Amino acid sequence: MIAHAALGGSTNAIIHLVAIAGRFGLKIPLEKFDEVSRRVPVLANVKPNGKYLMEDYHFAGGLPGLLSRLTDHLHLGCHTVTGRSLLENLSGAGICNDDVIRPLDEPVCSEGTTVVLRGNLAPRGAILKVSAADKSKLQHQGPAVVFSSMADLEARIDAPELDVQADSVLVLQNAGPIGGPGMPEWGQLPIPKKLLKAGVRDMVRISDSRMSGTAFGTCVLHVAPEAAADTVMPRAPPGVIGAQPHTNGHAALHQVEQGSPPIPLGRVLTGLQVKISFRLGLDQVNQRVVEELVDAFLHLLVQVLEVDARHV
């Protein structure tokens, strides 16, 4: 988590770390990532947070070099897969370019990479990668333009008649573990073509989906519960949405005006998709994702290949 914050790492890492911890019976609350990000600055000056490429980061010292800057934040005595302690692993670490891997007193961002938002649109939390966002949009309120699915977005996003302005908030529903299904990386919603032509390069975007770690934008991700769970997010249209990542030490994501009744999912899934999506949706990304997904695929393998479960 420390390295993730200092690297300005992908929001996908949050899902993976929570799931891996779950395999050991541990729970990592979302707020822990928020807390770590507030005290660990971004030191890696790489895209989308900075100007260099990951290749430059590797040759500047890579992960060992980055960790050598963070020794005050690490448990250096812990054992690693090398059979040695973390301190021993870092004994030969060095940095050959201080602009790529910044010193602690010259960070790329003084606070870390991610912030956790909660509110009436995301009572169980959502994630925003603030280090890759337009800082002018971190406190924003605007009219919601809602797409009920990726198919709906693709059909309407570039339509000349779409009622959208630069201050609009683009919302994509049904792109989570159940709704996708499988939570695809659709979180970086495209800017409408007519706004691109007008020079707009970023907008506040909200979804229950994921986003690539290399992507830039003010994109609120992993909204939980997801829209397909038929709870809060399906009620987004119409209304005004406000996002405030830092308000008196807290973060908020609210629908200012109550919207309409839930939009039906309106799609047919195969048996496998239903099984995997249901299992994934049980914990809405935050817990046991890896365990449930592995169990689902093992069960499928036994059924389809008719193999002895003892050999799986």
**Quick one: which H or E segment has residue 152?**
helix 150-156
Burial of 249 (0-12, 13-18, 19+ CB in 10 A): exposed
> Which residues does the annotation mark as catalytic?
212
pTM of the model as a whole? 0.75
pLDDT digits (tens, 9 = 90+) for 105-144: 999 988 778 888 888 888 888 999 988 888 888 888 888 8
Cβ–Cβ under 8 Å, residues 50 and 108: yes
Positive or negative CA dihedral for 157, 158, 162, 164? positive
pLDDT (tens, 9 = 90+) of the chain, 312 residues, equals 999 999 998 999 999 898 888 888 889 998 899 899 989 999 999 999 899 999 999 999 999 999 999 999 999 999 999 999 999 999 989 999 999 999 999 999 887 788 888 888 888 889 999 888 888 888 888 888 999 999 999 999 999 999 999 999 999 999 998 888 889 999 999 999 999 999 999 999 999 999 998 888 999 999 988 888 755 555 555 455 555 655 444 455 655 544 433 333 333 333 333 333 333 343 445 444 445 555 555 555 555 555 444 444
Token pair of 168 as six digits:
């609009």
Pick the closest to residue 224 from 11, 72, 49, 10 (CA basis).
11
Q: What does the alpha-carbon distance between residue 68 and residue 75 come to, in Å, rounded to a whole number? A: 12
What CATH number does the domain located at 114-255 have? 3.50.30.80
Q: Could you state, in order of their start, the residue ranges of all structural domains in the chain?
A: 2-89, 114-255, 271-311
Q: Which residues pair with residue 129 across a beta bridge?
A: 114
Other C-beta atoms lying within 10 Å of the C-beta of residue 302: 14
